[in-house]
Amino acid sequence: MKLFNTLTRQKEEFTPDKPDQVELYCCGPTVYNYAHIGNLRTYVFEDLLRRVLEFNGYVVNHVMNITDVGHLTSDADEGEDKMKKGAEREKKTVWEIAEYYAQAFLEDMDRLNMLKPTKKPKATDHIDTMIEQVQKLENNGYTYVGENGNVYYDTSKFEDYGKMAQLDKQELQAGARIKVDKNKKNPADFVLWFVSSKHGDQEMQWDSPWGRGFPGWHIECSAMSSKYLGDQFDIHCGGIDHIPVHHTNEIAQAEGASGVKPWVKIWMHGNFLVLKEGAKMAKSEENFLSLTRLVQEGYDPLDYRYFCLQSHYRKELAFDWDGLDAARTGLRRLKEKVLALGDSEGKLSDKYMTSFTEAVSDDLNVAQALGITWELMDDGEVSDEDKLVTIRKMDTVLGLKLDEQTKFELPPQIVQWILERNEARAQKDWKKADEIRLKMEVSGKWMVKDGPGGTEVRPK
Segment 194 to 233, residues that bind Zn ion, using CB under 5 A: 221
Cβ at position 148, least distance to ligand AMP in Å: 25
Which partner, ligand AMP, Zn ion, none, binds residue 255 by CB below 5 to 8 Å per kind? none
Which partner, ligand AMP, Zn ion, none, binds residue 126 by CB below 5 to 8 Å per kind? none
Q: Which of 283, 305, 437, 445 binds ligand AMP (CB under 6 A)?
A: 283
Q: How far apart are CA 364 and CA 270, in angstroms?
A: 11
Q: How far apart are CA 280 and CA 269, in angstroms?
A: 18
27 binds Zn ion (CB under 5 A): yes
Q: Which of 138, 154, 234, 241 binds ligand AMP (CB under 6 A)?
A: 241
Q: Which of 187, 215, 238, 256 binds ligand AMP (CB under 6 A)?
A: 238
Cβ at position 337, least distance to ligand AMP in Å: 31
Tally helices (H) and strands (E) across the chain: 15, 14
Looking at 278-365, list the stretches that DSSP marks H as alpha helix, in order from N- to C-terminal side.
291-296, 301-309, 321-339, 350-361
- Whether the link from the prior residue into 452 is cis, omega within 30° of 0, is no
Cβ at position 241, least distance to ligand AMP in Å: 5
- Candidates 53, 88, 460, 67; CA nearest to 242 is 67
- Cα–chain center distance at 169: 31
Which partner, Zn ion, ligand AMP, none, binds residue 162 by CB below 5 to 8 Å per kind? none
State the amino acid at position 421 in one-letter form: R
Q: How far apart are CA 433 and CA 421, in angstroms?
A: 5
Nearer Cβ to Zn ion (221/251): 221
Nearer Cβ to ligand AMP (281/397): 281
Instruction: Give the CA angle between residues 356, 362, 276 to the nearest 5°.
Output: 95
8-47 mask for ligand AMP (x: CB under 6 A)? -------------------x-xx-------xx-xx-----
Which partner, Zn ion, ligand AMP, none, binds residue 221 by CB below 5 to 8 Å per kind? Zn ion
Whether 374 and 334 have beta carbons less than 8 Å apart is answered as yes
- Candidates 228, 229, 230, 197; CA nearest to 214 is 197
Residues near ligand AMP (CB under 6 A), total: 16
Residues near ligand AMP, by CB under 6 A = 27, 29-30, 38-39, 41-42, 238-239, 241-242, 270, 272-273, 281, 283
